[in-house]
Amino acid sequence: MEIWKAFLKGFAENLLGSEETFGHGPDVPMVARPASGEIIKEPAMEIDGRVMTADEFVSYVETLEFARPLPTKLFLHHTWKPTLETWRGKSTILAMKAYYEKQLWVDSQGRWHEGWNAGPHLFVADDGIWLFSDLRYDGVGAAGHNERSRHLEMVGDYDEVLPSGAMLSNTIAALGIINERLGLDINKLYFHRDVSTKTCPGTAVRKEWIIPQIKAWIDAYRHDEGGAPAQPSITVREALTRQIQGQLVGVNPAAALAKAGVARGLLGALTHETRLAVDGQRYIAQVFAEALLVPEGDWDSVMSLDEFEKMPPETP
Ligand SMILES: [Zn+2]
């Protein structure tokens, strides 16, 4: 009975953990933990810890000297945990480093070690591209496939929902520039699940969905002689607002109606607030501009600016 209780307790601790657990990581054998005297404690993991915008990361990789022989495989992952909601930037990075430093692994001679020597190379979130293990050298991301490979982790769980927003555009730029710099074929992008039973980088993510987006980024990058990233330097909203700013009125951004206008993706206020009463009910009203736009020649594709901005990145 006592043994059974102890087993359950240990099982529960492993599942729930007194500390936070992260990610799926590489496949770790499910075997009993050896006595502590039999475990070789590894030195602290060295990480980079910087966060970069997509532009900064592109410039960084452009001049990076990768160790030879050059990597031949680029792997895409999702963290599963942490999610974008629980992501706290640098403190999450440090918590993951601490977590990896406690992981057990067995070397080829059957000796137990505590603490990985390296982890994934990049964690990509809405707040930027986080540099983890040195991109010049091999890291740890997929059991049996860590040699001459590089590993990018999208922060979040993409088993049910597609990646989107800044996290996705950062991911596409990072995969694009690494692929380009290493001279790899983006059609051969690896998913962790290619070599594992895990769903990583998430069941919702399919190669025919993401590879064309990376290809488009690479095409734009190659097309741009300056080698600058593929993002436009100015958005449609900025260009339009600049052109018509003489027709808009200034608003107090903290006002309820002004905030609601921004939330609804409206372009700006055309009038100041005005008071009116109808059937004894008093209102404050303000007229806002909503822009409609259509690509020249494609007259059936009219959309509002808000709809335009919410479209997924263009795929060829
Ligand atoms: Zn993975």
Identify the three-state secondary structure at position 63: coil
- CA of 195 from ligand 1 middle (Å) equals 10
Average pLDDT on 292-313 reads 87
The answer regarding whether domain 21-223 maps to CATH 3.40.80.10 reads: yes
Query: Measuring CA to CA, how many Å separate 304 from each of 179, 263, 297, 308?
Result: 35, 14, 17, 6
Its pTM stands at 0.65
Tell me what pLDDT residue 242 has: 66
For residue 240, the tally of other CB atoms under 10 A from its CB is: 16
- CA of 76 from ligand 1 middle (Å) equals 7
Residue bearing tokens 């380009």: 180
- CA of 74 from ligand 1 middle (Å) equals 12
Higher pLDDT, 107 or 136: 136
- CA of 208 from ligand 1 middle (Å) equals 18
- Render pLDDT for 120-140 as a digit per residue (tens, 0 to 9): 999 999 999 999 999 999 999
- CA of 141 from ligand 1 middle (Å) equals 6
DSSP bridge partners of 76 = 152, 191
- Render pLDDT for 139-177 as a digit per residue (tens, 0 to 9): 999 988 999 999 999 999 999 999 999 999 999 999 999
Tell me what pLDDT residue 247 has: 78
Residues of the chain with CATH 3.40.80.10: 21-223
Check if the beta carbon of residue 49 is closer than 8 Å to that of residue 90.
yes
Higher pLDDT, 1 or 233: 233
